[in-house]
Structure 1
Amino acid sequence: MPADPGQLSFQVIIMDLSIVPGALVCHPLEPGWGLGMVQSVVGHRVTVNFEHRGKVLIDIRHVTLTPVREDRSQGTR
């Protein structure tokens, strides 16, 4: 509840704009999960399908996913 009823209260969520459906990511604390593809982003909740872990719901307020740039010309990430 705002201290002054005339004031608006809001929460600011800073998101990495590269975390969008279809983006490739890695979980910095779980490298064994392998590469993941973002399935959906709803607010601070991101669903990612990882190679070696499967589908995981991640709260990006607590974990910063690492975007992976796929370089198709080199065949590397």
Structure 2
Amino acid sequence: MEDLNAILSPGMRVRHPGQPDWGTGQVQSNVSARVTVNFRDVGKVVIDSTRVGLIPLFDE
């Protein structure tokens, strides 16, 4: 079980690779391979880091 989002920390901006219509999200927490992200267009979503690798955004 590999945590694909281990580098993410609260406040970082991300995108979900399989849901581009969700827009940009902000990481709220990253605990035990569960990342809570507040997406601009859909609200808070909990992501399983063993299944989905979020895309960090460094230029937004």
Give per-residue Cα distances to partners, 1:21-53, cap 9 Å, x unaligned: 000000000000000000001110000000101
When normalised by structure 1's length, the TM-score is: 0.70
Unaligned runs of 5+ in 2: none
Q: 1:28 aligns with which of 14, 17, 28?
A: 17
Q: Which runs of 4+ in 1 moved over 2 A?
A: 12-16
Task: Describe the SS at the equivalent of 2:36.
Answer: strand
Q: CA RMSD in A?
A: 1.4
- In our comparison, the structure showing a higher alpha carbon Rg is 1
Distance in 2 (CA, whole Å) between partners of 1:65 and 1:29 is 9
Give the share of equivalent positions with the same residue, in percent.
46
When normalised by structure 2's length, the TM-score is: 0.88
Question: Which residue is 1:44 aligned to?
Answer: 33
Higher relative CO (CA 8 A, sep ≥ 6), structure 1 or 2?
2
Question: Which residue is 2:46 aligned to?
Answer: 57
Tell me, yes or no, if structure 1 residue 16 matches structure 2 residue 6. Answer: yes
- Residues 29 and 36 of structure 2 are in contact (CA less than 8 Å); yes or no, is this contact kept in structure 1? yes
Unaligned runs of 5+ in 1: 1-11, 71-76
Q: How many residues align?
A: 59
